Chain A
Amino acid sequence: GQQVMQIPQYQHVQEGEDFTTYCNSSTTLSNIQWYKQRPGGHPVFLIQLVKSGEVKKQKRLTFQFGEAKKNSSLHITATQTTDVGTYFCLTTDSWGKLQFGAGTQVVVTP
């Protein structure tokens, strides 16, 4: 069945640094969504990517969907303490099956 891998599982970032988290699927995806979950909170939608090679930006966040629609990345520039949380990808495969990645837990030190 479909396997979704998210790397890294844990990211320790100094405030002001950049980092990237990746979501990789074993199968071609229909689309991918990114969610953020603050400590003790619930997932909150960030963005959806549908087209091959699509790139979307939200302020300091840049989201990219791979050409083969099997992987995606989230890049955050100039990390702030408000970026703390776990970032999950939610994938949908060709059969409509939903699957969350394991998430990247981000810790930011001032």
Chain B
Amino acid sequence: EPEVTQTPSHQVTQMGQEVILRCVPISNHLYFYWYRQILGQKVEFLVSFYNNEISEKSEIFDDQFSVERPDGSNFTLKIRSTKLEDSAMYFCASSEGAGWAYEQYFGPGTRLTVT
């Protein structure tokens, strides 16, 4: 069964550094998403991406964050100047169509630890 993959599984970085989290969505999917989950808390929507542009973003997704689809398979989340409070599990997801109407498939997540 096709699945969403994410790398790395765990990233440790120092405060102020930039990190790039990588995702490979399911190949025929058109919509891509990033979510984060702070330990013990709910999953929070960050951004959705379609047709090579952001289709929606939350209040959390400010200028510190950016997304890119650099090639036909990867989907990345860049976090600039990381802060301690950015420590969380980051999930990538993809769907065949718009997320409000189609099942989203989640990757296993990247645990980001900012020290």
Contact residues of A with B, CB < 8 Å? 30-31, 33, 37, 41-45, 48, 50, 88, 90, 92, 96-103
B42: chain A residues at CB < 8 Å are: 88, 100-103
The complex places the Cα of A44 from the Cα of B107 at a distance, in Å, of: 10
A90: chain B residues at CB < 8 Å are: 104
A66 to chain B, nearest CB (A): 17
**Segment among B43-51, B68-76, B80-88 that sits at the interface with chain A:** B43-51
The complex places the Cα of A41 from the Cα of B111 at a distance, in Å, of: 12
B91: chain A residues at CB < 8 Å are: 42-43
Is the contact region of chain A dominated by helix, strand, or loop, or is it mixed? strand
Bin chain B's interface residue count: 20 to 34
Contact residues of B with A, CB < 8 Å? 33, 35, 41-45, 48, 56, 91, 93, 98-101, 103-109
A100 adjacent to B103 (CB under 8 Å): no
- Show 22 residue pairs from A and B whose CB-CB distance is below 8 angstroms, ordered by the A residue: A30-B100, A31-B101, A33-B103, A33-B104, A37-B43, A42-B107, A42-B109, A43-B43, A44-B106, A45-B105, A48-B101, A88-B43, A90-B104, A92-B99, A98-B33, A98-B45, A98-B99, A98-B100, A99-B45, A101-B42, A103-B42, A103-B43
